[in-house]
Every structure is written in structure tokens, then in C-alpha cells.
Amino acid sequence: MKVDIRELGQFNHLASEGAKQAAKSLSTLAGIEMDVDVTDVSLVTESVLAETFADRSFVGVELGLQGGLEGETVLALERERALVLQELLLDATDTDYSSKGSTIAKSSVTELGNIMIGGFIDGWANHLDTAINMTPPRYTEANGPRILPDQAIEAAKNHGVFLFESKLSGMDVDLDFSLYMLPEYRQFVQLLSGNDQGNQIPVNRLSTFEELAKEGAGNAAGQIGMMTGLDTNVDVSRLRFVPLSGVPKQVGNDQFVGVVFELTGLPSGYLVVLFDEKSAITIANAMMPGDSTEDEIGSMTEGAIKELGNIMTSGFIDGWANVLQTSIEHSPPNFVHDMGESIMSPVVGKLGQQQDYAFVIDSTIEIDGNEGQCDIYALPNERELARALSALPAQD
Amino acid sequence: MTRDRQRKQSAPIKQVGIAEYAVVTDNTVLSTSGVGSCLGIVLRDSFNDVSGLIHVMLPTAEESRDGNPAKFVDTGLPLVIEEMIEAGASKRRLEGWVVGGSEMLSFSSDGDSIGSRNIAAAKQAFEHYGIDVAGTDVGGSHGRSIRFDPASESVTIQTAKDNTTQTI
């Protein structure tokens, strides 16, 4: 069985459009204007689910899907955000919160979830030209990945689960939440099979994605440790499939210091290593000999970040080359110090000449406990990555 | 007088993402961020009070395999013009601002950079559609965020370097 990248792109588009519908529903019901940040899809295992949802407490509304598309959909908010939403909903419906207590709040959140998920799913039924039935909504509260349905967690243990995530954030209010869609694995793989030979990845190779993410980031983190003597830890590493135009938004518009590399070989692509300004200075000072330090981003920091970036990138692509059994080279570093979205603009521009969606490996490395952080974004050419994965020898 | 006061208090803001565009017929501020090698192009018919903003990534659709027309200068600009005309704008009254097209990265495999090709494509498109150039801030090697305020008919550009802001 093979998965067609274009089909995956089509489903990502449906999820993104669905999330916009859900945002509209919220605006109509409660007058809250939401922006759909980005929609991504990844095949995740139990350990990635644990990392993604770790140390957070959620409130959610869960709905089962049956028929043309089977699986589960969850609207989830972090607990403190749920209180914000409840108050906004009660204001909108003019309900006296203090006298009615949390039962009303729960039922209004459940009703809202029901309507938003309905909007989210409509487009999918149209695309598949079939009916999708929804089970009644269920209000849930849980810590960590337990906010997701048991079936999905079980599937993640066995063969991985496709996780669609759309993030919605308030335009004028401090409110953000995520819509998750977890289609039933076997049926969804059938839906993803296509005819375009050049864009297909054998389904049993999808698990290699996680290896790619882990190997690369693990090597890069090891290199930071060797160069600086600071403790490093790979916090999160995931391979997501996102619309290229959504990549800059994922990086955000804070100021970053970093390096951008062009990769050549199989696959070609780009690798971006970014530090927030404070982390860049911490790292650079740790790398400098003797007492020389810099308080701002100057030529010494630039030199140190370039040198470190070079070594991290070599480690990262060595990890890939091992998994894919190919040869990959990288260009000299391009130093950048700018807004995150602007840094990604030429990268998505260049890839955008060949593709509309991208596999993005997004890894966060913690440095010296919580003192510093480094984000690595790897964007391989999707067709070349598909080719490299397809060419791997059969696995047992 | 009252209307002026209201506008100052809370002009709504419409955020435009990459490869997206928006057209408004009121004082909604149009905003886009992350303009590196991309371009933010603002069009305005002040007589009919119609404004548009598009955030394009690449110069021409023909050099790409597939995609959303709003991604390119040559196919995106006609989309904005068409929607502005539907909203009441007159083609001959259009004026425009072009911002972005910086060269932030250089790789050995590059010919001309995307930034400079985007600028050239915008210049050609403005000439083709007979759009007057009201202002430009292009090139360099830094990113930009853009806000267009229809009320003052000005584009405010924020750059990361030194956190400077300028208005054109």
C-alpha cells in the first residue's frame, strides 16, 4: 500500500478549510473572532504523543466519526484557557455564571464543540462524497495525551496514528485551542492511496519519518554539547506535513539569530537553525575562549553561531544519510538575525517553485536546562524525500 | 468628527498571510508580516475607497509546477485587481505600493535572487496594468512587516534591525 503526497495535501487542505468553518461558527455563536494559525498532519507514535501533550492539563470535547470517514475528533483547550472561553460564552448568552455553576459552563462548551466540529467535518463529507456520521459530543478533562481517545492512543502504540492539528487563536482575546482529527488508520491509508507514481511513499516507510526527526536532532544536540560543554536535551522532534505558506507562521515573528543551509544530494532542501537572541549570546559566550564575552549580537556571536551551525548541520544530515542510506552535502552557513517569519520567507520561496506542501522536521533542543533553546527546521524537497524513502531496502 | 474619533479608537485589522490577499471597502487596516524575499503589494482606489493587499512569494506562475495563483506576482495581482473592481474600484484610478524583495540568503546554486526577480515582476505588472506607483521600500537584506491604513493612505513598514519604523 502506498500513500500519495498529493492526497495528503488535499486532506490537509480540507482540515484547514474545516478549521476556518469552525472559527466562523465560534464567531457567529459567541462573537469571538479567531484566526486559524496553521494546520499540519503527522504520523505519530505513542512517544511523540506523550512529548506533544506532556505536562499540560486539558479540557475538551470529543466526537466519534463513522461512515465514509472513521475516527475521532477532539476540540481541546488548556484548562486555564477553558475558563476564559466559558466566561466569554456565558457573557454572550447572558447567563449568570455564579448562580448556575460549572454545569452550564460544561454544557455550553460541549455544545460549542459540537457545532465547531460539525463545521470542521462538513468539507470532508463533500470531498469524499459520502455521509459521515457523528456520535454525540462528550465533555472530557485530562492531563497529557489522555485528552485523546483511548482508541487513538492504542493505535499510536501499534502502528502510529495520523494526527491532524489546526491551531486557532483569538484576534482580540487571550484564547487559543486546537482541533485534532485522528482518522482510523487502515481506512485513512486506503483514502490516501493515489495513482501518481512520482509522489508515493510506501506506507510501511512512514514510520521512518520519526527516525529521521530523532536521528538528526539527536546528533545536532550532541554537537552543541561538545562545542559548549552545556547540557542539551532534545525536547520535541516531529515531522509535520504543512502547507508551505504556513511554515513562517509556525516559526513566529520573534527575533531570531541563526544560520540557513542549502542541502544538496538525496534529498536536497534547506536546514534552518534558530536561537532566540538570549540563547545565541549564552551559546556564543560558552564557546569563546578565556574571558571574552559579548552582551549583544556582534561579530563574535555571529562567528560562533556559524561555526556551531556548521557542525550541528553536519551531524543532522549524517543522521539522515544513515537512515536513508544516501549522501547529502550542505552549503556554507548564511547568517541571519531577523524576524522569524522573514527568515523563512526566502526558504519557502525557493521550495515553493516545486511544491505547495512541505515535510518539516521541527526539533527543539533545550540547552543547559531551561536557560537556552534552539529550534531546527529541516525542509527537504518532498519528491526527493519520497524517492529516497521508496528506494530503501524492504523492511521485515 | 464622530466618525474620525471612532476610527482612531478601533480600526479593525485584517491580517493577510503568505500567498493570501484581502480587499476591503472601509477603514480596515491591512497587515502582513514575514516579508523577506516575498513582496507585500498594496493597491488603492481612494476615490471609491477600495483597498487591497497581497503577499506574494514568487515572480511568475510558469516557473512553478503547480499552485495557488495568489503565490505569484503575475497571477496574484490580477486576482486582487479583479476583486477590487467587483468591490467598486476603477482600474484606471489604482495606485500601489511595493514592499519587500530583500536578499537575505545567498547560495551558490542561485542565479538572480528571488527578491530581485519579485521586484522586477512587480514593476512589469504595474506597467502592464497602468498602476501609478505611490511608494516603494524594496531590496536590502532584512525582513519587513507592513500595515496599510486606508484612512491615512499610508504604508507603515517595520524592520527587525534596530526595530525601526517608517511610513511611505
Residues 6+ apart with CB under 8 A from B20: A245, B54, B55, B70
Q: What angle do CA A338, A342, A345 make, to 5 degrees?
A: 145
Rounded to whole angstroms, the Cα distance separating A304 from A283 reads 8
Rounded to whole angstroms, the Cα distance separating A300 from A224 reads 17
The burial class, CB within 10 Å (0-12 / 13-18 / 19+), for B55 is: buried
Nearest to B143 by CA among A376, A258, A270, A374: A258
pLDDT at position A104 = 58
pLDDT at position A260 = 95
Q: Is the peptide bond before A149 cis (omega within 30 degrees of 0)?
A: no
Residue B105 or residue B79, greater confidence: B79
Q: What one-character-per-residue DSSP string does A129-152 give?
A: TS-EEEPPPEEEEEEGGGGS-HHH
Which neighbouring-strand residues pair with A275?
A257, A374
Minimum Cα–Cα distance from A253: chain B residue: B34
Rounded to whole angstroms, the Cα distance separating A57 from B149 reads 41
User: What's the whole-number mean pLDDT along residues A325-332?
Assistant: 90
Residues 325-344 of A with CB under 8 A from B: 331, 334, 336-344
Residue A253, chain B, CB below 8 Å: the answer is yes
Q: Do B160 and A255 touch (CB under 8 A)?
A: yes
Give SS3 for A82: helix
Rounded to whole angstroms, the Cα distance separating A182 from A214 reads 23
Q: Is 3.30.465.10 the CATH number for A2-192?
A: no
- What distance in Å separates residue B85's CA from the closest CA in chain A? 26
Rounded to whole angstroms, the Cα distance separating A63 from A66 reads 10
pLDDT at position A338 = 92
Question: What CATH code is assigned to B11-167?
Answer: 3.30.1330.200
Q: Do B65 and A354 touch (CB under 8 A)?
A: yes
pLDDT at position A258 = 94
Model pLDDT for residues A28-50, shown as the tens digit of each residue: 877 888 888 778 888 888 888 88
Alpha helices for chain A (secondary structure H): 5-30, 46-53, 79-92, 97-100, 102-128, 150-158, 185-192, 208-228, 247-251, 277-287, 299-324, 340-351, 382-390
| Residue B22 appears among annotated catalytic residues | no
Q: What angle do CA A359, A342, B157 make, to 5 degrees?
A: 150
**pLDDT beyond 50 at A323:** yes
Minimum Cα–Cα distance from B105: chain A residue: A334
pLDDT at position B36 = 92
- What distance in Å separates residue B92's CA from the closest CA in chain A? 31
Minimum Cα–Cα distance from A247: chain B residue: B18
In this predicted complex, what is the ipTM? Answer: 0.84
Model pLDDT for residues A182-211, shown as the tens digit of each residue: 888 888 888 888 666 667 777 777 777 777
User: What's the whole-number mean pLDDT along residues A288-307?
Assistant: 81
Nearest to B34 by CA among A374, A347, A243, A309: A347
Written in H, E and C, the secondary structure of A256-322 is EEEEEEEEEECCCEEEEEEEEHHHHHHHHHHHCCCCCCCCCCCHHHHHHHHHHHHHHHHHHHHHHHH
Residue B20, chain A, CB below 8 Å: the answer is yes
Q: Do A354 and B18 touch (CB under 8 A)?
A: no
**b or e along B66-91 (b: 16 or more beta carbons within 10 Å of the residue's beta carbon)?**
ebbebbbbbbbbebbbebbbebebee
Q: What angle do CA B31, B12, B118 make, to 5 degrees?
A: 15
Q: Do B161 and A246 touch (CB under 8 A)?
A: no
Residue B61 confidence class, pLDDT cut points 50, 70, 90:
confident
Residues 145-174 of A with CB under 8 A from B: 171
Q: Do B71 and A331 touch (CB under 8 A)?
A: no
DSSP state of A198: G
pTM: 0.83
Q: Do B17 and A348 touch (CB under 8 A)?
A: no
H or E, element range at A181: strand A176-183
Q: Do B109 and A262 touch (CB under 8 A)?
A: yes
Query: Where on the phi/psi map is residue A371: left (φ > 0), alpha (ψ -120 to 50), or beta?
Result: alpha
Q: What angle do CA B163, B167, B168 make, to 5 degrees?
A: 135
Q: Do A346 and B63 touch (CB under 8 A)?
A: no
Catalytic: which of B19, B23, B29, B38? B38
Across the interface, which of A264, A336, A349 has its CB nearest the CB of B57? A349
**pLDDT beyond 50 at B6:** no
The burial class, CB within 10 Å (0-12 / 13-18 / 19+), for A354 is: middle
pLDDT at position B66 = 61
Taking each helix axis as running N to C, give the angle between helix A382-390 and helix A5-30, from 0 to 180 degrees, rounded to the nearest 10: 130
Please give the span between the terminal C-alpha atoms of chain A, in angstroms, as a whole number.
15
Instruction: Supply the Cα-derived Rg of chain B in whole angstroms.
Output: 16
* CATH top-level class of A207-390: alpha beta
Across the interface, which of B19, B102, B108 has its CB nearest the CB of A331? B108
Across the interface, which of A336, A345, A352 has its CB nearest the CB of B35? A345
Grid cell for residue B104:
537575505
Residue to test with chain A: of B107, B138, B163, most A Cβ within 10 A: B107
Contacts of B143 in chain A (CB under 8 A): 338-339, 341-343, 345
Residue B101 confidence class, pLDDT cut points 50, 70, 90:
very high
Which neighbouring-strand residues pair with A64?
A72
**pLDDT beyond 90 at B88:** yes
Residues counted in chain A: 396
Domain limits, chain A: 2-192, 207-390
Q: Do B66 and A338 touch (CB under 8 A)?
A: no
pLDDT at position A70 = 87
Model pLDDT for residues B13-41, shown as the tens digit of each residue: 888 989 999 999 999 999 999 899 999 99
